[in-house]
Structure 1
Amino acid sequence: MNSQIPTFSLFMEENDLEELRSDIWNDLPLPATLHTSNSTFDIDIAYRGSYTRTFRKRSYFIEFIEPDMFDGSREIHLNAEYRDPSLMRNKLSLDFFNHIGVLSPESYHINLVRNGTPKGVYLLLESVDDLFLKNRGLPKGLIYYAVNNNANFSLTRDGKKKRSRLSGYRQKVGDQSDDESIRKLIEVINTSSLQEFSRIIPGYLNVDKYLDWMVGTVCTMNNDGFTHNYALYQNADTKLYEIIPWDFDATLGRKVDGGKMAYDYVPIQGKESNFLCSRLLQTTEYRKCYKQKLEKLLETKFTASYMRDKIDTLHQLLRPHILNDPYKRRKIKEFDNEPEFIYQFIKDRSHFLREHFSELD
């Protein structure tokens, strides 16, 4: 098996590097040069993430200036995956969503070198934007990022009224006049009677795709993924919204801080704080559909046997590079223990969900 992953060599002038380090919360990009195996790019670079910016190994957002495209993208994200002892969960989870038919960003690991100094293994994440759609032959459409836990499809959060129906969302593709579309979606979810909701929601949401995402999120158990870590895409042809997962590193039995998350932490219905999930499961038709999808997934793809080869292959690919990662090489034993940890989580989670099928009747 090929043990190589690409190397990205980043160069920044010392004054720009010092400015980058001086304020980790500054989102203003700074100039840099990026060398890949085949090309050299002038880029803009900034730190990305929220609490992850305080870690020793930080994540980056990169925009390509000249040439202005890299592998079909004008911008990419380099995730440090610092708190995930496996460095695999984000990719495994996003690939899993792709396997079950949910729109999901592509990703692969790279080695990052900055000004000649190795910075370790990173996960390159495709940006969810207009080129994400174009690369898949999808119709143009609106894209909104869920930027915080206000993106819970509700008019309230923790019992308090939100300032706006758009609270928690940031528009990535579209213009200000398009915001009425997502306001209307939130209105329908929150103000329709149960009978009206089941009749009206298919005119706003691709319910089948949403339920696919929901079963994937319940299985992989991204606690934050229900009210954060996703994007919404409105297909310009159908006018229906679809949901796209994002930043799924805190999955498969690990919390955002890398600690263990019990396999029964998220109930079979998902998180109650996601009001759209709750409303869909209140409708008999959608609840039955959700249960059928979940049963099928537990029989076919959310199994240790289905995932084993993918986990083992990725683990073997990354291992020699983890040994050279200045932030991870001293934790190689933890890294080597992670495949078995993930297998056991899949088994335990699957058993837990099967035991609670009756709650969906």
Structure 2
Amino acid sequence: MSNILPSYFLMIEEDELNDLRKKLSKDDPVSAKLLVDSITYNIKIAYRGDYTRKFRKRSYMIDFDDAEKFLGVRRIHLNAEYKDPSLIRNKLSLDFFQDLKVLSPESQHINFYRNGSFKGVYLHLESVDDLFLEKRGLPAGPIYYAINNDANFSLVCDDKPKKSLLSGYKRVCGASSDDIFLHDLITTINTTIPSKFPDEISQKINIDQYFRWLAGAVCTMNNDGFTHNYALYRNSDTGLFEILPWDYDATWGRKVNGGIMDHTYVPIEGKSGNHLNYVLLQVPEFRKLYKETLEEILETMFTVDYMENKVLPLHQCIRPQILLDPYKKKKIDIFDNEPELIFQFIRDRNDYLKNQLLNLV
């Protein structure tokens, strides 16, 4: 891994910057330019995230003109990772999912400048859209983002009937006619009788892929990742939905506010609000498959021996820039202790999950 981070230079007129600041709670973009590798791109930039917009170091969404695609994409996300003392948990998680053979966005730490002023280390995240599929040689298909906790695969949320079966989802790729497939999936999950459920659901989702995603979410312990922070892609060749991770900074032992999360907080079956997890794990053959999948991961990949070769290079790569980051440089002692905190979480979480495997019999 190269220890030299790419540098992105945002050039924005003062009136556009003031306009952007006035739109703090909105997704409305303003015009600007982005210089990367001596090439200047015309862009639209907006803030991204929900509660993170209130932080001093904010995250951005950048759109490029179609005629000026940047690295073969039309949109990127620049995450501030403000509450993660390590700044590596999101990338560490997404790379972990890739190792699990789960579709996952590419990510890269970068140095971010605005009008010549260094604004710190950011994480460049690939957008999950039609170009994401094209880049991987995957067939076209609709993609939905789970944008709130209504995306729980149930007919209700917080004990109240949902206004629509598609509540909680935003289609970012595909046509309105594709919505019938997601509608049908949620209907199948909630109305199919138990004797027919295994066959019916196997025709709607990629079961093996889903359990690899569930194992990854359970290991990394993203409490928000079961009813939020995921995307659904329907492969038009197989007709099956696949699930993808998104926004995994609150993982590896840290909460969304940056505090310590107890290694037992998320149960082995995942967060109880995800109704799909619940109904799948009622089926003995599916429960056995999940147990076998998780057992293998706990022995081979969710270990300190495996993950230290991921954690340490990432940590060492960005450390020189953390010393210059205006939002992080005063907390370098905390940053330096993060690898061991992550490793201790892996040890404790691994032991806990191995003990809980008995519950999956």
Fold equivalence (TM over 0.5):
yes
Please give the per-residue CA displacement for 1:139-185, whole angstroms capped at 9, x wherever unaligned: 01010000011100001112111110000000011121211110000
Could you tell which deviates more after superposition, 157-166 or 74-83? Answer: 157-166
> What does 1:74-93 align with in structure 2 at a 5 Å threshold?
74-93=74-93
Give distance in 2, aligned partners of 1:292 and 1:178.
Answer: 33
Please give the per-residue CA displacement for 1:58-85, whole angstroms capped at 9, x wherever unaligned: 0000001275301111100000000000
Q: Tell me the equivalent position of 2:27.
A: 27
Q: Tell me the equivalent position of 1:162.
A: 162
Q: Tell me the equivalent position of 1:345.
A: 345
Secondary structure of the residue aligned to 1:124 is: strand
Give distance in 2, aligned partners of 1:283 and 1:237.
Answer: 26
Amino acid of the residue matched to residue 356 of structure 2? H
8 Å Cα contact 1:234-1:241 kept in structure 2 = yes
Could you tell which deviates more after superposition, 232-241 or 61-70? Answer: 61-70
Give distance in 1, aligned partners of 2:358 and 2:337.
Answer: 34
Q: Tell me the equivalent position of 1:175.
A: 175
> What does 1:218-237 align with in structure 2 at a 5 Å threshold?
218-237=218-237
Q: In structure 1, list runs of 5 or more residues that go unmatched.
A: none
Give distance in 2, aligned partners of 1:126 and 1:132.
Answer: 8
Give distance in 2, aligned partners of 1:99 and 1:321.
Answer: 27
1:65 has 2:65 as partner: yes
Could you tell which deviates more after superposition, 11-20 or 62-71? Answer: 62-71
Secondary structure of the residue aligned to 1:195 is: coil
- CA RMSD in angstroms, aligned pairs only: 0.9
Give distance in 1, aligned partners of 2:2 and 2:221.
Answer: 31
Q: Decide whether aligned partners of structure 1 residues 80 and 21 sit closer, same or farther in structure 2, where only a CA change above 3 A counts.
A: same
Q: Tell me the equivalent position of 1:100.
A: 100
User: Matched residues, percent identical?
Assistant: 57
Amino acid of the residue matched to residue 136 of structure 2? R
Q: Tell me the equivalent position of 1:335.
A: 335
Q: CA deviation at 1:38?
A: 3.5
> How many pairs were matched up?
361
Q: CA deviation at 1:195?
A: 1.6
Give distance in 2, aligned partners of 1:352 and 1:55.
Answer: 34
Could you tell which deviates more after superposition, 293-302 or 57-66? Answer: 57-66
Q: Tell me the equivalent position of 2:148.
A: 148
Please give the per-residue CA displacement for 1:116-158, whole angstroms capped at 9, x wherever unaligned: 1110000000000000000000001010000011100001112
TM-score (norm: length of structure 1): 0.99
Give distance in 2, aligned partners of 1:81 and 1:352.
Answer: 28
> What does 1:293-332 align with in structure 2 at a 5 Å threshold?
293-332=293-332
Q: CA deviation at 1:196?
A: 1.5
Q: Tell me the equivalent position of 1:191.
A: 191
Amino acid of the residue matched to residue 10 of structure 1? L
Give distance in 1, aligned partners of 2:294 and 2:47.
Answer: 37
Q: Tell me the equivalent position of 1:125.
A: 125
8 Å Cα contact 2:151-2:228 kept in structure 1 = yes
8 Å Cα contact 1:42-1:67 kept in structure 2 = no
Amino acid of the residue matched to residue 274 of structure 1? N
TM-score (norm: length of structure 2): 0.99
Give distance in 2, aligned partners of 1:289 and 1:3.
Answer: 40
8 Å Cα contact 1:219-1:349 kept in structure 2 = yes
Q: CA deviation at 1:253?
A: 0.4
8 Å Cα contact 2:76-2:126 kept in structure 1 = yes
Q: CA deviation at 1:23?
A: 2.6
Q: CA deviation at 1:2?
A: 3.8
8 Å Cα contact 1:43-1:66 kept in structure 2 = no
